[in-house]
């Protein structure tokens, strides 16, 4: 039987990290290009034709990002899922392609759904950047129009025009400061740096893909138990879940039913691995009791609600 090695696990992790890095690179480049357009617009006198030229460049950047984001979501969902499914198949001694023994439909359907979810996250953020950039160009026009009105008001000794111009400039300066700092994404009233947001989406969604691949393949292999990984700096929300074993179907009296698995929160670094009976036979009763989540688990349903709410806010 071909069981996986540490090298096989590293291959999965290395591929996943490479895909995360690729998305961050795409967004970092787009962020630099957008900020450069905004910086140029900030230093030139507003003119309709010039503003339209900036808008054309901005639309090109966002359209490219939408296209690249869709391609990234498809390739990453498929790549991470298949590599994780192959790893799990090997843990059951079925070889890399063992996960295909019962057909590929459930796997491909899952991959497509996950890719669509990632695409929605990315396109939503991209369109926010488009709106924010357009808003900036409109505010430039408002500020200049108000400035002209203020000049005319001063000539006839009226204060109102000057006050309007000051307010318009203040609004423009605030928006300009946010955008030049890279906070191009505005979702649910919160501003996000484009590069940091892409990393959040990539880390969270690839973790979700890996978990779903593990769940589907474990069940198809006739397994039921999974173990949550452990790392040294867990968030409070996932501290009581790490290192514990859960039953996917809920039919094992030794371990509680899994109602929430990684990612427990945005940017969660945990993952899950299948646990086979031979693995359990190697552990002492005391160790099995320690691994059981019965003793320390919180109500996972609440964790699920918190995670979904947080991810929705960030997406």
Residue 7 has pLDDT above 80, yes or no: no
pLDDT band at 237 (very low <50, low <70, confident <90, very high): confident
Average pLDDT, the chain: 78
Residues 190-217 have pLDDT tens digits of: 888 889 899 999 999 999 999 999 999 9
Q: What number is the average pLDDT over the span 16-25?
A: 96
CA atoms of 132 and 136, how far apart (whole Å): 6
Which long-range contacts (C-beta less than 8 Å, at least 24 apart) are formed by 111-114?
111/77, 111/78, 111/81, 111/209, 112/77, 114/77, 114/81, 114/205, 114/208, 114/209, 114/212
**304 closest CA partner among 245, 252, 243, 241:** 241
Element at 71 (helix H, strand E): helix 48-91
Beta carbons within 8 Å of 180's beta carbon, 6+ residues apart: 35, 38, 39, 42
Residue 248 has pLDDT above 90, yes or no: yes
Cα–Cα distances (Å) from 120 to 80, 113, 123, in that order, read 18, 11, 5
**192 closest CA partner among 178, 175, 171:** 178
* 241, two tokens: 């879940």
DSSP structure class, residue 270 = -
Q: Which range (70-74, 203-207, 274-278) has the least confidence?
A: 274-278
- In this prediction the pTM is 0.79
Q: What number is the average pLDDT over the span 147-157?
A: 44
Residue ranges of domains in the chain = 6-198, 224-314
Percent of the chain residues past pLDDT 70, beyond the cut: 73
Q: What is the secondary structure of 12-59 as a DSSP string?
A: HHHHHHHHHHHHHHHHHHHHHHHHHHHHHHHTS---HHHHHHHHHHHH
Name the one residue in this structure whose structure tokens are 């400035």: 147
141-145, 166-170, 248-252: which has the highest mean pLDDT?
248-252
Cα–Cα distances (Å) from 183 to 31, 101, 130, 234, 295, in that order, read 9, 47, 12, 27, 43
Whether omega for the bond prior to residue 263 falls within 30 degrees of 0, making it cis, is yes
CA atoms of 76 and 118, how far apart (whole Å): 10
Q: Decide: 315 and 187 in contact? Cβ < 8 Å.
A: yes
CA atoms of 183 and 196, how far apart (whole Å): 10
CA atoms of 29 and 72, how far apart (whole Å): 15
**172 closest CA partner among 153, 150, 147, 193:** 147
CA torsion 158-164-166-171 (nearest 10°) is: 180
**226 closest CA partner among 257, 263, 265, 264:** 257
Q: Decide: 99 and 107 in contact? Cβ < 8 Å.
A: yes
pLDDT at 236: 74
């Amino acid at each position: 039987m071909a069981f996986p090695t540490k090298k096989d696990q590293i291959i999965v992790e290395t591929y996943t990290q490479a895909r995360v890095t690729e998305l961050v690179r795409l967004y970092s480049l787009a962020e630099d290009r957008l900020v450069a357009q905004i910086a140029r617009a900030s230093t030139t006198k507003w003119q309709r034709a010039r503003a339209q030229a900036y808008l054309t460049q901005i639309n090109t950047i966002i359209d490219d990002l939408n296209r690249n984001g869709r391609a990234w979501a498809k390739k990453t969902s498929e790549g991470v899922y298949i590599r994780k499914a192959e790893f799990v198949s090997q843990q059951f001694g079925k070889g890399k392609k063992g996960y295909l023994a019962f057909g590929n439909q459930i796997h491909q359907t899952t991959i497509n759904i996950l890719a669509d979810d990632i695409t929605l996250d990315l396109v939503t953020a991209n369109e926010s950047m488009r709106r924010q950039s357009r808003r900036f160009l409109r505010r430039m026009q408002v500020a200049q129009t108000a400035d002209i009105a203020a000049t005319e008001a001063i000539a006839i000794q009226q204060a109102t025009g000057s006050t309007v111009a000051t307010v318009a400039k203040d609004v423009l300066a605030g928006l300009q400061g946010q955008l030049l700092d890279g906070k191009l994404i505005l979702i649910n009233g919160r501003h996000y740096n484009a590069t940091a947001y892409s990393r959040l989406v990539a880390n969270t969604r690839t973790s979700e893909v890996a978990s779903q691949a593990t769940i589907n393949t474990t069940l198809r292999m006739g397994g039921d138990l999974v173990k949550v990984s452990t790392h040294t700096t867990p968030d409070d929300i996932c501290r009581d879940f790490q290192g514990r074993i859960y039953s996917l179907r809920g039919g094992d009296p030794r371990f509680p039913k899994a109602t929430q698995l990684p990612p427990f929160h945005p940017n969660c670094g945990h993952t899950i691995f299948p646990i086979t009976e031979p693995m359990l036979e190697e552990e002492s009763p005391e160790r099995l009791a320690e691994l059981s989540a019965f003793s320390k688990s919180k109500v996972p349903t609440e964790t699920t609600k918190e995670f979904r709410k947080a991810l929705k806010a960030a997406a």
